[in-house]
Amino acid sequence: MDVNEPAQAEQSPSGNLATAVDIIASPSIALARIEQRPSILFPLLLVMLPMLLVLAWYVQIVDQAWMLDDMMSRFGDMTPEQLEAFRAAAGENPVSLGSTVLGAVVSTIVMYAIHAGYLTLASLMSGDRYRCRHWFSLLCWTNVPMLLVTLVMAVNILLDTNGQLSIYDANSLSLASLGLSSESMGITALLDTFSLPLIWALALLVAAYRQWLRCGWVRATLVVLAPYMLVIAVVLFFALG
């Protein structure tokens, strides 16, 4: 496809299903299809709806008093006064189903939009002219492996018997759950955030950039992962400085 031409219509339902399978089984085929017909709504809902259902389930079964204590235990460098203020504020504003779902929706879309905007800017600077629609669609599709996180969380919630399950521990595929740890809050947050499916998703994104722009792995990796590298560098600077 000549990216100077308008993008073709979105994929048909059967085409979307085929892409969902191929993004796992035959990534190069799926990425070529996404380049030709960048769809957004289907992959966005495919990733988000199961996640929202699991988050809603978690909020319904978790012991909120215990969850508050668990959250505060992660702030090891807070003073007793700060912890008490945090406890008081949380007690006045308990976690609700609506706020959890809304927060997840907004944060996911904002993160996709920021990354898509960054890749669009990179495209404008390099002159390849891929539009924001291409990148936003690609981000939605390459996050399909994150369904594994949703599945694992659902299993852990199902197996929980007393409502005392940390949202971080529910994701058994995070680097923290897999045994990596740190005394630094910032590094711990990174280990909680990064998971094997997320690394898979980022690898797909790098592969897509390389395939679409026909460039080398080094350039694709540096361009696509620059925002993540910046965040990691900042966290390490403050954690180790």
| Residue-wise pLDDT tens digits, 115-174 | 999 999 999 998 888 999 999 999 999 999 999 999 999 999 999 989 899 999 999 999
Residue 174, classed as helix, strand or coil, is strand
Residue at 3 is within a domain: no
Residue at 4 is within a domain: no
- Return the amino acid letter for 98: G
**C-alpha count within 13 angstroms, C-beta hemisphere, residue 122:** 19
Residue at 5 is within a domain: no
Tell me if 207 sits within 8 A of 98, measured CB to CB: no
Phi-psi map region of 97: left, alpha, beta (phi>0 left; psi -120 to 50 alpha): alpha
Residue 58 has pLDDT above 80, yes or no: yes
Residue at 106 is within a domain: yes
Give the mean pLDDT of the chain: 88
Both structure tokens of 227:
């925002």
Residue at 73 is within a domain: yes
Both structure tokens of 128:
């390849």
Residue at 195 is within a domain: yes
- Round to whole Å and give the CA distance between 39 and 117: 17
Q: How confident is the model at residue 69 (pLDDT cuts 50, 70, 90)?
A: confident
- Round to whole Å and give the CA distance between 228 and 232: 6
pLDDT digit string, tens, across residues 188-230: 889 999 999 999 999 999 999 999 999 999 999 999 999 999 9
The count of structural domains within the chain is 1
Closest CA to 65 of 164, 167, 160, 154: 164
Residue at 8 is within a domain: no
Phi-psi map region of 204: left, alpha, beta (phi>0 left; psi -120 to 50 alpha): alpha
Both structure tokens of 209:
């950039």
Residue 6 has pLDDT above 60, yes or no: no
Residue at 105 is within a domain: yes
202 is in which domain, residue-wise?
13-240
